[in-house]
Amino acid sequence: MSNNGMVATSQPLAAQAGLHMLLQGGNAVDAAIATAAALNVVEPMSTGIGGDAFALVYLAEERRLRALNASGRAPYALNLNYFTEKDLKEIPLKGMLPVTVPGTVDGWSTLLEEHGTMSLSQVLEPAIVYAEDGYPVTEIISQQWEDCVPLLEAHPASAETYLIDGRAPWPGEVFRQPDLARILRLIAEKGRGVFYEGEIAEAIVRFSEENGGLLSLRDFEEHTSTWVEPICTDYRGFKVYECPPNGQGLAALLALNIVEGFDLTSMRHGSSQHLHLLIEAMKLGFADAFEYVADPEFADIPLKGLISKEYAETQRVRVDSKRAAAEVEAGIPPDVGDTVYLSVVDENRNAVSFINSLFQGFGSGMVVEGTGICLQNRGALFSLDHGHRNRLEPHKRPYHTIIPAMVFSDDQLFLSFGVMGGMMQPQGHLQVLVNVLDFDMDAQASLDAPRFRCISGRKVRVERGIEEPVRTKLRQMGHDIKTSEATLEFGGGQIIMIHPENNTLLAGSDPRKDGCAVGY
């Protein structure tokens, strides 16, 4: 709780980096970039300058909300014919083929130039210090790192950069990243140009060529972030905003629209009926997202119709209140997501809801030698179906899982929040929002509550906190319920709430991660 500014994210050291910017007089944008850069260092399997970013930015004085799409595009040289000629039926999850142009650095630079008050060198300094001096690896991060050892072992530069004598760092062990520190300092001194037009771009392209990739200098030189119009729905009098496609925030809005037609407060929170309705609504939301979400520069997406209340009514009648639907017509993209999310609100109530990601743990598994840069594998989410909106095309952005969100009440910012975790993200948004807006939970309680995760068809995983009698009833309703002990598969959320009466900041940080919310 705080009267001034607040930062919430998945790593305490990263939260401190953002708080330091606020204490130095910086605004929410300055703090968000400092936090994101620090996360690049202290949570390297989840995020980095080899990945992408999306942001919602609220400018309090102007009462204006903006959305930034800082996701990268496919190489010009990569198209469907490439896979046909090589008789490849799907895009590999690892290696250079799923690597798209990293959008993070341009996103940071764009945000700072337009809405920040500090320089790139100022906001990157905490991350550089952590990389140079080292930092103690936290317990959950050590566990995630250990899961990625086989991937890192497969590539010499990856193993040399991110393993210690062939193993992941132990909890509490100090880990240093001198190569990444040098690269971050180079960006701090020379700006985004060195990443997209200078020696860093040249190093990545050279590495790509040596390892079977198709990235070119042209791909980097022509990369830009894009300011886009946020998409919105009204849920019980609250306006819920997400970034538009190519992000999957649409899925969360579609599910909310369906759920709005049910009286959830007449049900016990966590009851079989409550969870059944959310699960079925989420399945319908995903079905449409997998069909329609794509790069809007390449495909027509009927957003107005999809988000309309009329369409929600037609979808709602498809929900059987007593029985789980067997299948919905949609493919299920890869579902192992490693991402970081952060939220910042400053003393003037400017706010940033920001998400940064490599997609899967250590992304493509490819670390550019001598740089510490791990390249993302977002291209794995393209479709190879020639008739699909999200089909692979040169210089196109793929379906994206990462989605920041904000909620307004009576045109006043009420929530800045997000939930990391691949396909869990819109499901997390739905569950957290219902917890707050329907069941009146506070920020922390909304994140603490046990979650479900739709897999495909009737398959649903649930946390052990969902009571056994409820699990039994859901099975009787036709759901294929599996209880999972892997808390990270249910995402990790951060939330900052602005009290509508006294303007106080109240925050929560997900216990499934190592993070915290800090304020002053």
Tell me which residue range forms the domain holding 219: 6-227+337-381
- The answer on pLDDT for 489 being more than 70 is yes
Q: Are residues 95 and 189 in the same domain?
A: yes
Q: Which tokens sit at 325?
A: 């639907």
332 pLDDT above the threshold of 60:
no
Q: Where are the beta strands (DSSP E) in 302-411?
A: 338-345, 351-359, 367-368, 373-374, 405-409
Is 405 within the bounds of a domain?
A: no
Going by the DSSP 8-state scheme, the letter that residue 164 receives in this structure is B
201 and 295 fall within a common domain: no
Same domain, yes or no, for 328 and 363? no
**Is the confidence at residue 331, as pLDDT, over 70?**
no
pLDDT tens digits, 386-439: 999 999 999 999 999 999 999 999 999 999 999 998 899 999 999 999 999 999
Shared domain for 251 and 155, answered yes or no, is no
**Residue 192 domain flag:** yes
Q: Supply the pLDDT for residue 408.
A: 98
> Does 337 score more than 80 pLDDT?
no
Q: What is the mean pLDDT of residues 77-104?
A: 96
Domain stop point among 381, 406, 435: 381
* pLDDT, tens digit (0-9, with 9 covering 90-100), for 135-187: 999 999 999 999 999 999 999 999 999 999 999 999 999 999 999 999 999 99
Asked if residue 314 and residue 295 are part of one domain, the reply reads yes
* Residue 479 identity (one-letter amino acid): H
List phi, psi (to 5°) of 44: -70, -20
Own/partner contacts of 259-264, CB < 8 Å, gap of 24 or more, are 259/430, 259/434, 260/235, 260/236, 260/312, 261/312, 261/313, 261/316, 262/316, 264/434, 264/438, 264/439
State yes or no: pLDDT of 336 exceeds 60.
no
Residues 221, 101 within the same domain: yes
pLDDT tens-digit map of 265-293: 999 999 999 999 999 999 999 999 999 99
CATH assignment at residue 297 = 1.10.246.130
Q: Is residue 159 included in any domain, yes or no?
A: yes
Contacts of 194 (CB under 8 A, 6+ apart): 186, 187, 200, 201
User: What confidence score (pLDDT) does residue 486 get?
Assistant: 79
Q: What is the mean pLDDT of residues 364-374?
A: 98
Above pLDDT 90, what percent of the chain? Answer: 95
Q: How far apart are CA 278 and CA 283, in angstroms?
A: 9
Given a cut of 70, whether residue 499 has pLDDT beyond it is yes
Q: Does the pLDDT value for residue 98 go beyond 70? A: yes
352: Cα separation from own chain's centroid: 14
Whether residue 30 sits in one domain with residue 112: yes
Q: Which of 104, 339, 371, 401 is catalytic?
A: 339
User: What's the confidence (pLDDT) of residue 328?
Assistant: 66
**519 or 339, higher pLDDT:** 519
Q: How many domains does the chain have?
A: 2
Tokens of 397: 């952005």
Confirm if 205 and 65 have CB atoms less than 8 A apart: no
CB count in 10 Å sphere of residue 115: 19
Q: How far apart are CA 61 and CA 470, in angstroms?
A: 47
Has residue 372 got a pLDDT over 70?
A: yes
> Does residue 392 lie within any of the structural domains?
no
Assess whether 142 and 208 both reside in one domain: yes
pLDDT, tens digit, 9 for 90 and up, residues 187-210 = 999 999 999 999 999 999 999 999
Query: Are 117 and 252 in the same domain?
Result: no
pLDDT band at 334 (very low <50, low <70, confident <90, very high): very low
87 in a structural domain:
yes
pLDDT tens, residue by residue, 230-243: 999 999 999 999 99
pLDDT band at 330 (very low <50, low <70, confident <90, very high): very low
The pair of three-digit structure tokens given for residue 53, joined into one six-digit string: 């970013």
- Residue entry with tokens 């009698």: 469
> Does 49 reside within a domain?
yes
Q: Is residue 395 part of a domain?
A: no
**Residues 377 and 441 grouped into a single domain:** no
Q: pTM of this prediction? A: 0.95
Does the active-site annotation cover 224?
A: no
Segment 40-67, tens digit of pLDDT: 999 999 999 999 999 999 999 999 999 9
325 and 200 in one domain? no
118 and 165, same structural domain? yes
| 38: in domain | yes
> What local confidence, expressed as pLDDT, does residue 326 receive?
80
